[in-house]
Amino acid sequence: MTSTATAHTNIALIKYWGKKDAILNLPTTSSLSLTLDKFYTTTTVSKNDSIDTLILNGQNVDARKIQNFLNILRDELGTFDQLTITSENHVPTSAGLASSASAFAALTAAVTRELALDLPNETLSRLARRGSGSASRSFYGHFAVWHEGIDDKSSFAESIAAPDMPIALVVAEVSSETKKVSSTEGMQRAMTSPDYSSWIQNSAKQFLDIQNAIITSDIEKIGYIAEKNALDMHALNLTARQQPFTYFTQETQQILAIVSDLRHKGILAFSTMDAGPNVKIITTLNEAPTIVNHLKKEMPHLKVQTAASGPGVTYD
């Protein structure tokens, strides 16, 4: 038998940037995301009688991270056979989006389907969290929250009831990467910032405020809060007491300035950034083409793509 599931990636509007328990992947704050239609991972699992194996986009690749995660699932769900995981990633690294969210969500969904366990998304989100925190949010379409919780059981994600709205995300990929600091490492450093406890407090308020903006389809307010939350997160990296760093490059700053200029000209455009130099611009489906054209004119070498709100996990 084989089982297949598809999960879409998500972009955090209120970021997860720190762990209070690194083994259980319990975050220091609750986070909130938008699932994207364009970028997704489809994963098929089947039993084998040798060793957990990962075939990613047709290539047999290092499976250690997946093996560790499958062993966590064996502890949690009861042991099961070794698996062959065949994954097709439609999250081009060129999009500047992390694929770990969609990858661990699709894997968790496919494995539990293969075991004939019919688990609710909340339980799946808790399991996937152990592989990668952001994966917990990828089970749901549109907007999702991941509650920080106080233990394994209470740290799960769920969908937010939200009206349909024409929110869009323009992804601007810069051409040069600085030396990459992984999310896990970046968070550890950020937590040494003297501003970290105020970040936690501000984030709690932003988490509530953005939910009010979502309920009222106020995309401008969503963008405003998300931009502030993201820039506050990146400020922690700069003010870390141990190994301060930044994901910003010169091009990042150029894009941020263009977004700010567009906003002054009356275009709805707000920036957010994750563990890398690329900028994602929150806007409306109507205004996205104007932003794309403007970015291409000012910075012709940029790769720019537009995504809209996407669905939750599906099974074949």
Is residue 157 involved in binding ligand 2P0 (CB under 6 A)?
A: no
Is residue 69 involved in binding ligand 2P0 (CB under 6 A)?
A: no
- Mapped to the 3 state alphabet, what secondary structure does 22-88 carry? CCCCEECCCEEEEEEEEEEEEEEEEEECCCCEEEECCEEECCHHHHHHHHHHHHHHCCCCEEEEEEE
Is residue 105 involved in binding ligand 2P0 (CB under 6 A)?
A: no
Is residue 30 involved in binding ligand 2P0 (CB under 6 A)?
A: no
Is residue 100 involved in binding ligand 2P0 (CB under 6 A)?
A: yes
Is residue 224 involved in binding ligand 2P0 (CB under 6 A)?
A: no
CB 249 to ligand 2P0: min, Å:
16
Is residue 251 involved in binding ligand 2P0 (CB under 6 A)?
A: no
User: Closer to ligand 2P0 at the Cβ: 110 or 275?
Assistant: 275
CB 24 to ligand 2P0: min, Å:
11
Residues from 279 through 308 that contact ligand 2P0 (CB under 6 A): none
CB 188 to ligand 2P0: min, Å:
10
Is residue 31 involved in binding ligand 2P0 (CB under 6 A)?
A: yes
User: Closer to ligand 2P0 at the Cβ: 2 or 201?
Assistant: 201
CB 3 to ligand 2P0: min, Å:
24
Nearest residue to 157 (alpha-carbon basis) of 288, 35, 58, 62? 35
Distance of CA 265 to the CA centre of its chain: 30
CB 182 to ligand 2P0: min, Å:
8
End-to-end C-alpha distance for the chain, whole angstroms: 13
Is residue 248 involved in binding ligand 2P0 (CB under 6 A)?
A: no
CB 272 to ligand 2P0: min, Å:
9
CB 63 to ligand 2P0: min, Å:
16
Task: Tell me how far apart the alpha carbons of residues 189 and 183 are, in angstroms, rounded to a whole number.
Answer: 10
Is residue 15 involved in binding ligand 2P0 (CB under 6 A)?
A: yes
Is residue 271 involved in binding ligand 2P0 (CB under 6 A)?
A: no
Give me the residues that bind ligand 2P0 (CB under 6 A), please: 12, 15-17, 25, 31, 98, 100, 132-134, 183-184, 274-275
